[in-house]
Amino acid sequence: MFFAFLKNLMQPFRSARGGAAPGQGAGSLRLPIGGRQPYPDWKIFDVEAGPQVDFVGHYADLRQFADESVTEIYA
């Protein structure tokens, strides 16, 4: 698990499921950090890619999301 964490830090951030680029539609993202359970209108952000994960990255670095593109965060 630790090596997966390091691997994700070394790779450029990306959408894990090939969705729309982060930041499209200002204020349109609802983002649970570290989630695994999908909910309508929420995009999952996690350090490890998975079948339900929409965005992969580290919680301390949210630069992949444009300013004011996330309306809610659940952590």
Domain contains 19? no
Domain contains 1? yes
Count of domains observed in the chain: 1
Which pLDDT does position 35 carry in this prediction?
A: 80
3-state secondary structure of 70: strand
Residue for token pair 């570290």: 34
Domain residues for 31?
1-13+27-75
What share of the chain in percent tops pLDDT 90?
51
- The count of C-alpha atoms lying within 13 angstroms of the C-alpha of 44, restricted to the half-sphere facing its C-beta, is 18
What is the rounded radius of gyration, in angstroms, for the C-alpha atoms of the chain?
12
Domain contains 60? yes
Per-residue pLDDT tens digits for 7-62? 444 444 444 444 444 444 557 899 999 888 898 999 999 999 999 999 999 999 99
Domain contains 9? yes
